[in-house]
Amino acid sequence: MSEPPKAYGADLVIPVLAAAFTIYFLYTIAGLEWEAKANGIFVGVALLALVAVQVVRSVIGIARGRGRLTFGPLLEPREALPRRLGMMAITIAFVVTVPWLGLGLGLFIALAAGFAVMGVRPWRRLLLTSFIVAAVSTVLFNAVLDTGLPKGPVEKLVERIAR
């Protein structure tokens, strides 16, 4: 029995998006100190190299007749498509609103919405898990590592209380 042809187009969606994000990331770190820039360039180049490997692998597979540049698996099963689109909308909304909401509140809302879209129940578990992940991430990235991620109303309130 022969295997069904591979859908290389679907396999390339995440690598192409990763490459676009990496190029944007490398552009935005241009003004940083050399230490941060060096780390960013190292990680960015490594990711671009992995994307190149995936693209070459796909081109070779297509040239050898093992598959086609199709996107069918992204749309199947049809029942999962609303959840996938919901998760994509939540991710986009998180990225757009995190400058105003901050990491803590934005991550809490995004996780709770994502868990709800994916069918996580009961609500207490959904909210508790979202809260714990958002709280730990906020403490880690804003307090411990001082990464400079956006601070929203929650982080600003905590800073006022801590003074």
Give the residue extent of every domain in the chain.
Answer: 1-76, 78-163
Report the pLDDT value the prediction gives residue 129, as an integer from 0 to 100: 96
Mean pLDDT by 10 residues, the chain (163 residues): 80 91 86 77 91 95 91 83 93 93 94 95 94 90 76 84 78
Question: CA 149, CA 142: separation in Å to the nearest integer?
Answer: 7
Give me the pLDDT at residue 7, please. 87
Question: Taking the complete model, does pTM exceed 0.75, yes or no?
Answer: no
What's the rounded Cα separation, in Å, for the pair 17 and 149? 22
Q: Is 143 helix (H, G, I), strand (E, B) or coil?
A: helix
d(CA 95, CA 153): 17
Neighbours of 122 (CB within 10 A): 8
At residue 142, the pLDDT reads: 76
Q: What is the pLDDT of residue 57?
A: 94
Bridge partner list, 68: 7
Question: Would you state the pLDDT for residue 146?
Answer: 73
